[in-house]
C-alpha cells in the first residue's frame, strides 16, 4: 500500500545489481579486491587484491557482505518487520504495526493517548493499540526516546508493518 | 442478482492474478493481500487496492485469518475469494467470513467440514450411491482393525489420513509384513501435519488413472458437470500434466461418472465450483476418492474445451445467481493440455530451485494460454509453492494438442542463477509413447524418473 | 501427402512469427529472412535458419524477389510462405517461385492476376452469379464514360483503381460537380502507386458494413468457408477492430453470402486460403467487393471461433492435401474480437509513432491471445507497417468478449520514448454505444475521431 | 547509441557491461588488477596486478570506440552494409555482399581468380562475382590496398552484407 512504484523499481534494480556483483565474483578469476556496481550511470568496477601487498591486505575492501545486505531486496523488505528499527531518516527509529487492524492512540475513547509528539518514553512502553477481530493488542516500542511523529490517525486501519510512530532515541 | 462490489483475493501467485482478471472482466473491484515476500508481485499492482498482511510464512500471512478479515473490513470488500490451497477449504475461515458479513466464495462451512473428513465423505458418497474402493467403512480404530480390513480387501492397500486429501497423508502397503509400521507412521504423520491422527484403509489400484469431474452447483439445488480431466501424470501425488477430456475412455462410462459426480455433490448440499475425484481402473470402472470445493490449479483445460470461464461462473453462483448454463449448454470441443512449469530440479528429485528470473518470456500464439505471476526480474520466493507458470494449449485433436504443447514449451525462455524448471521433464512426458497413446496411469512419472 | 520439409517465410513482424509457430507445430523447418533493420527480430531467432536479404527499404528486402529466391535456394527450402502484404499477392513472384522449383503458398499466379485486376474480378464474379454494386461493367474509358455511369448509378459513387485493393486507390464522389476532378486525381494516384491508371466506378454505400468471408480451397476443386468477420471499424480503409462472426445479421443472409463466397472462389479456380469481401447495406443485402488470396491480418478471430488453425490448413492445401475439414465440421462458437495495437498517435491523425519499447508486457490469461513481434528492448522500426500487436479475445457472447477485450487492453503495458499506440482509441471504440449494439458501419471511426 | 532513461534499458546495458567485464577477464593475458566498465561515456579500464610491486604501470586498454560498436546492436549490423568500411580489427577494410547469391572468385570455372591473399588491388577493382537469378554481378572494392583475407569460399552462398574480402589499405 505504501511502497510507491519507484521503490519497487529500485528494488528490482538492486536485485539485479546484487546478482551481477555476485556472479562477477563467482566468474572472475584471481583474488578480487573490489567490485563496484553502479546503476546511476551504469558502472561495474572490479578490483583485484594487489598480490605483492597480500600481507597489508584489505583496507580498501568494500566488503562483499555489506554490499549483499544493502542490495538484498528480501532484507529491505524484512526491515519493515515488527518492532523498532533504524529508519532511513538518520536518527529516528520506527514502531511499525505487528498485525493488521485498527490503530488506537488511547486505551478507550476519551482517555489520555499513550503518546504525544515530544513525549519521552522508555523502551517497552505502549504506544497504542491495534484492534483485530475484536481483540485489543497493545503495541510497544523496543527503543526508548522522544516521540518524533505519530504517523497514523486515531481509529485508522493499518496494514502489516505500516509505520505507526517515529521515535528519536536518546544516546 | 447483483454480483459483488469488491472482492478480496486471499491468495498469491498465478491464481490471485487469474481471479483478479475475472473480477475486472465482470466490473468487480479487487483487493490483493500480500506478505512482505510478495511486495513486488504482479497482483499487488494489478488489483485496485492492496494490503500487506504479514511476513513470509503462510501461517502468518496467507493463512492468517485475522489479518485477512481485517484487511477485508478496512477495504470494505463484500466477498473473499480464497483461490486454492491456503484457506480455500477451511470451514472455520468460511464461518468467520460469514460472521463478519463477508461472502466466502466456496461451499458452505458444514459441507466443507464433511468433505474435508475423508472418512465421512466416503460414507456420504456411499449413501449417495457412488462406487467406492473396498475398505474401511469408517476410520479404522486400531492396528488390529486395520489388519482385519487389509486382509479382507487384499494387498496392496493404501492407508489414508482422514484429514488428508490432495495427495497428502497416504501410504501404500504392499504386504502384511509392512502394515503395522505403515500404520504407525501414517498416524504419526497425520497427527503432525493435520492435528488429527485418524486414518482409513482402501484397496490400492496399481495401474489406475486419476480422473476428475468438474462440477458447478448453485445455491438453489442446481448442479451441472463440465466434463473430465485426466490428472494421472503425477509425482508423489503432485500433478505435472493434466488434460481435458480424459482420453481413451468409453463415453458411456464417462457419462456415468459425471452423473455420479453431480449426484454426489448435490446429495451433500455442495454449492459453488468443485471437483469430484475418481480412480479409474483398467476395466474403466470408477471409484470415488474425494471432493474438493475450490477452483483447481488445472481448471484452464476445462475452460479451454468448454469455453466456460469457471471463475466467472464461480462468482455468479457465490452471489446467489442460479446456474447460467444448463447441462446441455456445456459442450466439450477438442483437447486441452496443461503443463505445470515449476521451479524444481527434476534431476535432483524435484527439489525447489527458486531464484531470480533474469530472463522470462512465456510462449504465446494461437491456442496457447499461460497463467503466471512471473516477469523478467521477478525473484521466485522459496517460501511458497514452486508453481511458476501453467502452459495450457488447445487443439481439435489430442495429437495436435500435444504437438502444440511441445511447441509452446520450446518457446518458454526462463533463465536465472539457480533457476531450474520442470520443462525438460514435461517434454519427456509429452513425447513418451505410452502417454502419446493416452493409455497412461499414475505410474508414468515414476517410470520416467527411473529412466 | 507429405507436408513441406522446410519453409522460407518471406515476411517480418507478427505474421512471420505466427507462420513459424505453425511450422514448428507441424514439424516443418523454417527459414526467416530479414532486412538489416530487423536483425534483432524475434523470428530471426525463432526460425531454424535466417538469411539477411537486404537493407531496410521493402523493395530492396521483403519485396526483393531475387534475394528471397536466392535465400530459398541456399537454404534448400521447398516452399515460400509470403504472409500478408509485400509479395503475398504478386503473381510474378509466384511464377518465379514455380520456375525455381519452390511452392508458393498461395493461389495460382493466373488466378491471383485475375483477382488483382479489380475490374476483371468484378466481371468474373458477376459471371459466377455474385451480387455486385451497380457501376461500370469494365474499366471506365474516359471522363465522359465515368460521368455516364455515375449519372446512371446515382450519387454518391466511388471511383476505384483497377489495380487497387485493400482499401487503397479509391475516391468517394458526392456530386457531379466533383466528378471530373476526382476522376483525374484518382487516375493520377493509381498511375503513381500501381503503375496502372485504369479505374472503375461503383455506387457508394454510405452506411454499409464491411463483412468478409474466410474461405479455404484445396487443389482438387474442394472449397469451404469458415464464416464471417466484420471489419467495419476502419479509418481510411485501414482496419482497427475486427470480430467474428459479423454481428446482428440474419442467419439466412449470412448463409447465402458464405455460399456465394465459396462459389465465386471455385468459379475462378481459387486455391488456398482467402477472403471474399462484401459490403452489406442497411437491408442486409450483400455486394461483392474483392477476393484476397493471402492470410489476413485478422485471421485469429476466425481461428478462435472455429478452433481451426488457418495456417495449418493453408500449409496442408498448399502441399496438395485435400481439405481436412468438411463444411459441416466447421462450427462457429462464441464471439472473437481482435484489436490492432499500432504504434500510431490517434491524437495526431494516426501518424506513426515508433520508438524503443522500454516496457512491453502484453496481456494474458483466459481466452486472450496476443500476436506480436514486440519485446522489452525492441525498437519499432519506422521502415514498416505500424502494427505492433494484435490482441484477440474470445467469449461465449459478444458482450462478454467486449468486456474481456477491455480487460486485456487495460493490462497491456507499453512504454518508451516517442512510443504512442492506438490502445486509447480502441478503448473508445469498445465502449461506443453503437458499437456495443453491433449496429455499426464503416462510418464509426470517423465519428469517433471527430468527437 | 540512444540512451533511454528506463530501468529496462539500463539493465540491458548492464547485462552487456557484465558480459564485457567477464569476457575481458577471460580473454586478457596476465594477471589482472582492475577492470572498469562504464557506459556514461563508454569506457573500459583494465588494470593488471602490479607484478613486482613497483614499476608495473597500469595499462589502459580497449579504446572507447571499439566498445561503442560492440554495444550498439543496430550500429553493429548497419556496419555490415554494402561496400567497404573500417573493420574493428584495426587497419583493414571489408568488402561485403551487396546482394544475396552465390559468390565466385573467378569469372568462370578454371579461370584465374580476381584476387588472392597478398595481391595489391586498386579502388574499383572487381574482387569477385555474385550470381543471383542467373545474373552475374561483379563486386568491386571501394578502397585499394593489399588483400588480407578472402572470407568466403568459391561457390559459397552469401547473404546480404556478408563480409567477402578484407583489404589492408595503403597509407
Tens digits of per-residue pLDDT, C234-281? 998 889 999 999 999 999 999 999 999 999 999 999 999 999 999 999
Contact B369 C372 (CB under 8 A): no
**Domains identified in chain A, total number:** 2
Measured in angstroms, the CA of D160 and the nearest CA of chain A are apart by 35
B241 touches chain C (CB under 8 A): no
Pick from A155-159, B58-62, C75-79, C114-118: least confident:
C114-118
Q: Where are the alpha helices (DSSP H) in B274-415?
A: 299-306, 310-318, 398-411
Closest CA to C33 of C81, C96, C90: C81
Look at residue D62 in the predicted model and tell me its pLDDT. Answer: 32
Would the CB atoms of B61 and A160 count as touching at under 8 Å?
yes
* Interface membership of C334 toward B (CB under 8 Å): yes
Distance from CA of A71 to the nearest CA of D (A): 15
The three three-digit cell numbers of residue B316, written as one number: 455468479
Residues of chain B with pLDDT under 70: 1, 166
pLDDT of amino acid A91 = 82
| Residue found by looking up cell 583494465 in the block | D46
Looking up cell 573493420 gives D87
In D66-144 the beta strands, taken as DSSP E runs, fall at 83-86, 93-96, 101-104, 120-121, 126-132, 135-140
Q: How far apart are CA B370 and CA B86, in angstroms?
A: 23
| pLDDT score at D3 | 38
A72: pLDDT strictly greater than 90: no
Per-residue pLDDT of D22-37, as tens digits, reads 766 665 655 666 666 6
Do D29 and D107 fall into the same domain? no
CA distance C380 to C403: 29
Q: Is there a single domain that holds both residue A36 and residue A111?
A: no
User: Residue C159 half-sphere exposure, CB side, CA atoms within 13 Å?
Assistant: 30
Look at residue D51 and tell me whether its pLDDT is greater than 50: no
Do the chains contact at D25 and A23, CB–CB below 8 Å? Answer: no
Q: Find chain C residues with C-beta within 8 A of B26's C-beta.
A: 403
B57 shares contact with chain C (CB less than 8 Å): no
Average pLDDT score over residue span C281-309: 97
| D75 in a structural domain | no
What pLDDT sits at residue C123? 93
Q: List the grid coordinates of C85.
A: 502484404
CB B52 within 8 A of CB A162: yes
Classify residue A24: in a domain, yes or no. yes
Q: Is C294 a catalytic residue?
A: yes
Choose the weakest-confidence range: A44-48, B408-412, D165-169. A44-48
Which of A3-7, A126-130, A161-165 is least confident? A3-7
D chain contacts of residue A46, beta-carbon cutoff 8 Å:
21, 25, 34-36
pLDDT at residue C168, rounded to an integer: 79
More confident site: D119 or B206: D119
In a domain, A93, yes or no: yes
Q: Are C and A close enough to touch, i.e. 3+ CB pairs under 8 angstroms?
A: no
Q: How far is CA A148 from CA A167, A168, C28, C437, D95, in A?
A: 5, 6, 71, 60, 73
Q: What's the pLDDT at D6? A: 56
C-beta of residue A144 within 8 angstroms of C-beta of residue A84: no
B364 in contact with A, Cβ within 8 Å:
no
- pLDDT for the residue A77: 31
Q: Omega of the bond prior to C362 within 30 degrees of 0, cis?
A: no
Q: Which residues of A touch B31 (CB under 8 A)?
A: none
Yes or no, beta carbons of B70 and A132 under 8 Å apart: yes
Residue D72 has pLDDT above 50, yes or no: no
Direct distance between the N- and C-terminal alpha carbons of chain C, in angstroms, rounded to an integer: 55
Which residue among C24, C25, C404 sits closest to B25, beta carbon to beta carbon? Answer: C404
* Residue for grid cell 486414518: B199
Mean pLDDT to the nearest integer, C201-209: 90
Give the residue, D8 or A113, on which the prediction is more confident: A113
CB count within 10 Å of CB C214 equals: 28
Furthest CA-CA distance within chain B: 60
For residues C110 and C88, what is the distance between their CA atoms, to the nearest angstrom? 14
Neighbours of chain D (3+ CB pairs under 8 A): A, C
DSSP letter string, B205-217: -TT-EEEEEEEEE
Crossing angle for the helix pair C118-127 and C109-116, nearest 10 degrees?
Answer: 100
> Which chain B residues are Cβ-neighbours of C22 within 8 angstroms?
366
- What element of type H or E holds C428? helix C423-431
Residue ending a domain, among D69, D98, D120, is D69
What is the pLDDT, as a whole number, of residue A49? 55
pLDDT tens digits, C415-448: 999 999 999 999 999 999 999 999 899 889 988 9
Distance CA C227, CA B416 (A): 45
Chains with 3+ CB–CB pairs under 8 A to B are A, C
Compute how many other C-beta atoms are within 10 angstroms of the C-beta atom of residue C184.
11
Residue D7 maps to a domain: yes
Residues B242-253 pLDDT 10s: 999 999 999 999
Question: Are residues A139 and A91 part of one domain?
Answer: yes
| C313 vs B: CB within 8 A | no
Of B333, B376, B411, the CB nearest to C333: B333
* Residue keyed to cell 495526431: C348
| Alpha-carbon torsion angle B111, B113, B119, B123, nearest 10 | -20
User: Around B403, how many Cα atoms within 13 Å sit in the side-chain half-sphere?
Assistant: 17
Q: How many CB atoms sit inside 10 A of residue B302's CB?
A: 28
CB nearest to C70's CB, from D77, D78, D132: D132
Of the candidates D6, D135, D162, the beta carbon closest to that of C358 is on D6
Residue of D nearest to C51 (CA): D159
The answer to whether D37 and A36 have CB atoms below 8 angstroms apart is no
Q: How many residues does chain B have?
A: 451
Question: Does residue D89 register a pLDDT over 60?
Answer: no
C-alpha cell belonging to residue D69: 560498436
Query: Quick one: A26 and A56 in the same domain?
Result: yes
For residue C48, the chain B residues in CB contact (below 8 A) are none
pLDDT at C67 over 70: yes
Those residues whose C-beta lies under 8 Å from the C-beta of residue A4, and which sit 6 or more positions away, are none
- CA-based nearest residue in chain C for residue B375: C361
Chain D residues with CB inside 8 Å of A13's CB? Answer: 7, 10-11
Summarize pLDDT for C148-189 with one digit per residue, the tens: 999 999 999 999 998 887 677 889 999 999 999 999 999 999
CATH of the domain at D165: 2.40.50.100
Structure-block grid coordinates of residue D126: 572487381
Q: Are residues D91 and D151 in the same domain?
A: yes
CB contact (8 A) between residue B18 and residue C361? no
C378 vs B: CB within 8 A: no
Pull the grid cell for residue B177: 509384513
Q: Is the pLDDT of residue D43 over 70?
A: no
Chain A, chain D: beta-carbon pairs less than 8 Å apart: 79
Of D69, D97, D121, the domain-final residue: D69
Examine the pLDDT at C294 and tell me if it is beyond 80. yes
**What's residue B451's pLDDT?**
78
Question: Nearest-CA neighbor of C314 among C257, C270, C278, C276?
Answer: C270
pTM of the model: 0.85
| Residue D13 within any structural domain of the chain | yes
- Report the mean per-residue pLDDT for chain C: 95
Longest dimension (CA), chain A: 73
Would you say C184 and C237 are in contact if contact means Cβ atoms under 8 Å apart?
no
Q: Do A133 and B66 touch (CB under 8 A)?
A: yes
DSSP string, C239-289: EEEEEESPSS--HHHHHHHHHHHHHHHHHTT--EEEEEEEEE-TT--EEEE
Tell me, yes or no, whether D109 and D135 share the same domain: yes
Whether residue D74 lies inside any domain: the answer is no
Q: Between the CA of residue C238 and those of C88, C166, C442, what are the distances in Å?
A: 18, 8, 11
Question: How far C384 CA sits from the closest chain D CA (Å)?
Answer: 16
- Is residue A86 located within the same domain as residue A164? yes
Of C12, C29, C122, C294, the catalytic one is C294
Q: Which of C366, C337, C325, C313 is nearest to C435 (CA)?
A: C337
Q: Which of D18, D32, D33 sits opposite A44 (nearest CB)?
A: D18
Binary contact (A44, D53; C-beta < 8 A): no
User: What is the C-alpha to C-alpha distance for residues C281 and B197, in angstroms, rounded to an integer?
Assistant: 74
Residues B385, B373: Cα–Cα separation, whole Å: 12
Chains A and D touch (3+ CB pairs under 8 A): yes
The grid coordinates listed for B389 are: 507458470
Return the bridge partners of B165, or none: B168
Query: Closest to A48 (Cβ–Cβ): which among D21, D32, D40?
Result: D32
Closest CA to A147 of A127, A133, A131, A162: A127
Same domain, D94 and D163: yes
Instruction: Give the C-alpha separation, C262 to C278, whole Å.
Output: 13
User: In which domain, by residue range, is A162 found?
Assistant: 82-169
Question: Which chain D residues contact residue A25 at CB under 8 A?
Answer: none
| Mean pLDDT on C54-66 | 97
- C135 confidence band (pLDDT: 50, 70, 90): confident
| Residue D60 Cα, gap to closest chain A Cα (Å) | 14
Q: Closest chain A residue to D14 measured between Cα atoms?
A: A42
Q: How far is CA D79 from CA A50, C37, C44, in A?
A: 40, 12, 19
Asked if D64 and D94 sit in the same domain, the reply is no
Q: Which of B294, B340, B369, B398 is catalytic?
A: B294
Q: State yes or no: pLDDT of A99 exceeds 50.
A: yes
Crossing angle between the packed helical segments B176-194 and B143-153, to the nearest 10 degrees: 120
Q: Rounded to an integer, what distance in angstroms lies between the CA atom of residue C238 and that of residue D41?
A: 44
- C74 Cβ under 8 Å from any chain D Cβ: yes
Among residues D37, D69, D101, the one where a domain terminates is: D69
Both D56 and D87 in a single domain? Answer: no
Please check whether residues A107 and A53 belong to one and the same domain: no
Chain C residues whose CB is inside 8 A of the B364 CB are 362, 369-372
Contact of chains B and A by CB distance (3 or more pairs under 8 angstroms): yes
Is A100 found in the same domain as A41? no
Structural domain contains residue D88:
yes
Chain D residues whose CB is inside 8 A of the C52 CB are 80, 100, 159-162
Q: Does A74 reside within a domain?
A: no
CA-wise closest residue to C261 among C133, C131, C166, C168 = C131
Amino acid at each position: 500500500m505504501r511502497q510507491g512504484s519507484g521503490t519497487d523499481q529500485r528494488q528490482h534494480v538492486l536485485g539485479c545489481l546484487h546478482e551481477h556483483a555476485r556472479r562477477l565474483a563467482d566468474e572472475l578469476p584471481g583474488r578480487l579486491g573490489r567490485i563496484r556496481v553502479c546503476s546511476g550511470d551504469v558502472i561495474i568496477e572490479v578490483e583485484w587484491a594487489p598480490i605483492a601487498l597480500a600481507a597489508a591486505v584489505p583496507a580498501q575492501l568494500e566488503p562483499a557482505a555489506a554490499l549483499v545486505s544493502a542490495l538484498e531486496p528480501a532484507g529491505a523488505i524484512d526491515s519493515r518487520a515488527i518492532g523498532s528499527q533504524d529508519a532511513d531518516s538518520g536518527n529516528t527509529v520506527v514502531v511499525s504495526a505487528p498485525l493488521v487492524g485498527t490503530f488506537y492512540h488511547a486505551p478507550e475513547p476519551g482517555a489520555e493517548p499513550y503518546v504525544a509528539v515530544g513525549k519521552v518514553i522508555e523502551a517497552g512502553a505502549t504506544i497504542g493499540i491495534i484492534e483485530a477481530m475484536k481483540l485489543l493488542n497493545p503495541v510497544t516500542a523496543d527503543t526508548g526516546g522522544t516521540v518524533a511523529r505519530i504517523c497514523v490517525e486515531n481509529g485508522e486501519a493499518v496494514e502489516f508493518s505500516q509505520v505507526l510512530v517515529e521515535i528519536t532515541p536518546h544516546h | 442478482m447483483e454480483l459483488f462490489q469488491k472482492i478480496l483475493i486471499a491468495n498469491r501467485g498465478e491464481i490471485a492474478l487469474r481471479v483478479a482478471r475475472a473480477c475486472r472482466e465482470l466490473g468487480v473491484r479487487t483487493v490483493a493481500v500480500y506478505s512482505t515476500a510478495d511486495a513486488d508481485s504482479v497482483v499487488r499492482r494489478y488489483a485496485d487496492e492492496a494490503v500487506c498482511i504479514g511476513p513470509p510464512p503462510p501461517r502468518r500471512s496467507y493463512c492468517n485469518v485475522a489479518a485477512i478479515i481485517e484487511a477485508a473490513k478496512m477495504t470494505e470488500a463484500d466477498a473473499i475469494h480464497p483461490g486454492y490451497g491456503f484457506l480455500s477449504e477451511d470451514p472455520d475461515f468460511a464461518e468467520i467470513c460469514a460472521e463478519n458479513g463477508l461472502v466466502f466464495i466456496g461451499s458452505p462451512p458444514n459441507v466443507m467440514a464433511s468433505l474435508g473428513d475423508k472418512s465421512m465423505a466416503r460414507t456420504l458418497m456411499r449413501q449417495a450411491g457412488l462406487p467406492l474402493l473396498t475398505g474401511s467403512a469408517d476410520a479404522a480404530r486400531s492396528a488390529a482393525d486395520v489388519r482385519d480390513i487389509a486382509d479382507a480387501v487384499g494387498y496392496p492397500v493404501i492407508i489414508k489420513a482422514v484429514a488428508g486429501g490432495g495427495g497428502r497423508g497416504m501410504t501404500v502397503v504392499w504386504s502384511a509384513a509392512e502394515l503395522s509400521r505403515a500404520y504407525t507412521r501414517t498416524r504419526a504423520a497425520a497427527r503432525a501435519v493435520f492435528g488429527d491422527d485418524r486414518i482409513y484403509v482402501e484397496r490400492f489400484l496399481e495401474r489406475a488413472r486419476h480422473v476428475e469431474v468438474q462440477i458447478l452447483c448453485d445455491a438453489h439445488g442446481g448442479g451441472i458437470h463440465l466434463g473430465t480431466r485426466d490428472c494421472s501424470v503425477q509425482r508423489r501425488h503432485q500433478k505435472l500434466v493434466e488434460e481435458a477430456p480424459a482420453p481413451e475412455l468409453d463415453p458411456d462410462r464417462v457419462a456415468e461418472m459425471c452423473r455420479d459426480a453431480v449426484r454426489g455433490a448435490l446429495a451433500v448440499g455442495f454449492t459453488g465450483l468443485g471437483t469430484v475425484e475418481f480412480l479409474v481402473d483398467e476395466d474403466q470402472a470408477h471409484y470415488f476418492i474425494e471432493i474438493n470445493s475450490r477452483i483447481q490449479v488445472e481448471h484452464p483445460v476445462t475452460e479451454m474445451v468448454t469455453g466456460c470461464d469457471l471463475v466467472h461462473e464461480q462468482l455468479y453462483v457465490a452471489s446467489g445467481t442460479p446456474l447460467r448454463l444448463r447441462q446441455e449448454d456445456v459442450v466439450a470441443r477438442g483437447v486441452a493440455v496443461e503443463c505445470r512449469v515449476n521451479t524444481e530440479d527434476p534431476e535432483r528429485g524435484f527439489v525447489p530451485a527458486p531464484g531470480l528470473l533474469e530472463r522470462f518470456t512465456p510462449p504465446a500464439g494461437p491456442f496457447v494460454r499461460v497463467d503466471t505471476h512471473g516477469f523478467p526480474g521477478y525473484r521466485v520466493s522459496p517460501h511458497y509453492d514452486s508453481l511458476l507458470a501453467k502452459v495450457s494449449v488447445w487443439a481439435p485433436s489430442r495429437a495436435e494438442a500435444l504437438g502444440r504443447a511441445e511447441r509452446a514449451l520450446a518457446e518458454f525462455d526462463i533463465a536465472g542463477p539457480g533457476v531450474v524448471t520442470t520443462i525438460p521433464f514435461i517434454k519427456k512426458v509429452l513425447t513418451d509413447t505410452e502417454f502419446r497413446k493416452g493409455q497412461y496411469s499414475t505410474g508414468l512419472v515414476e517410470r520416467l524418473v527411473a529412466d
